[in-house]
Amino acid sequence: MRKITTSFIALAGSALPATAALGQPVEVQVTVENLAPTNSVAFAPLRLGFNNGTYDSFDNGSAAGQAIISIAEGGSGADWFPEFGAADPTATLGTVVPNPAGPLLPGGTASAVFTVDPSVNQYFTFGAMVVPSNDYFIGNDSPTAYQLFDNNGNLQISSISQFGSDVWDAGSEVDGAFGAAFLQGSVNDDRIDENGVVEFDFQDLDVFNGLTTAAGYTFDRQFGSSDEIYRISFEIVPAPGSLALLGLGGLAVARRRRA
């Protein structure tokens, strides 16, 4: 069973407006954090879309399509972005890339700013490969799971948390060092078809325990189902000259848990 718990934080005199004039684009800063233990999982750059809630790239219990496979097996989203754009032409699509570019290592953070029209794109969809792995990833299987803006253009979610139990196995490639991404001596283009379905699975990452990652550390999963391993945060970037107009506002913190 999944649930989203929500709490409200009062903002007084903040430089962070939670409300946008409906129909007016806003600048949204997206920040990602790798909260996994040291020497545990890293994450490919976050692929994301602010959208109208119609594009659904995968479903729990069904075979993975090429769009989500391009994220789960290689982290690139090479098929995910074109399919997303075709299904929702008004979506704002993009990537949060660490500096320096590459996987987001444990303890790392990265940010990027996107121009979003809250009247058109109320929802947020994301995907990122979990490495080392053959086809593990994080992402939302429901396109309406995260309504970032309400009908008045108010930012109503300040962060999305991913826990160990939120890690997906695409079921498209057999788990093992052969063909795994982010392992020394492994070639990501190598693969063995699994012909399975998308399902939650983090424990089978243990197959990589003791192996050396591309970053040089010895992998050890360590985290459990209820441990927070990744966080996506949102802020409205104030327009120049708007700071004096700010007043009280509220933001909701959404945390996604699996019980």
The pLDDT tens digits for 164-189 are 999 999 999 999 999 999 999 999 99
**Number of separate domains in the chain:** 1
What does the pLDDT read at residue 23? 67
Beta bridge partners of 127: 47, 139
d(CA 182, CA 191): 14
What does the pLDDT read at residue 38? 98
What does the pLDDT read at residue 21? 55
The neighbour count for residue 55, using CB atoms within 10 Å, is 20
Q: Which residues have CB under 8 Å from 86's CB, separation 6+?
A: none
Contact, 30 vs 114, CB < 8 A?
Answer: yes
What are the pLDDT digits (tens) for 185-204?
Answer: 999 999 999 999 999 999 99
Q: CA distances (Å), 117 to each of 21, 86, 155, in order?
A: 10, 18, 12
Using omega within 30 degrees of 0 as the cis cutoff, is the peptide bond preceding 103 cis? no
What does the pLDDT read at residue 248? 38
What does the pLDDT read at residue 22? 61
Q: Which two tokens stand for residue 152?
A: 């008045």
| Structural domain for 121, as ranges | 2-258
What does the pLDDT read at residue 60? 98
Entry pTM: 0.86
Which helix (H) or strand (E) covers residue 11, if one does?
strand 2-11
3 state SS of 107: coil
Specify the CATH number for the domain of residue 220.
2.60.40.2130
What does the pLDDT read at residue 240? 60
What does the pLDDT read at residue 4? 41
- Which residues, given as ranges, of the chain have pLDDT below 70? 1-23, 239-259
Q: CA distances (Å), 107 to each of 19, 28, 67, in order?
A: 31, 23, 28
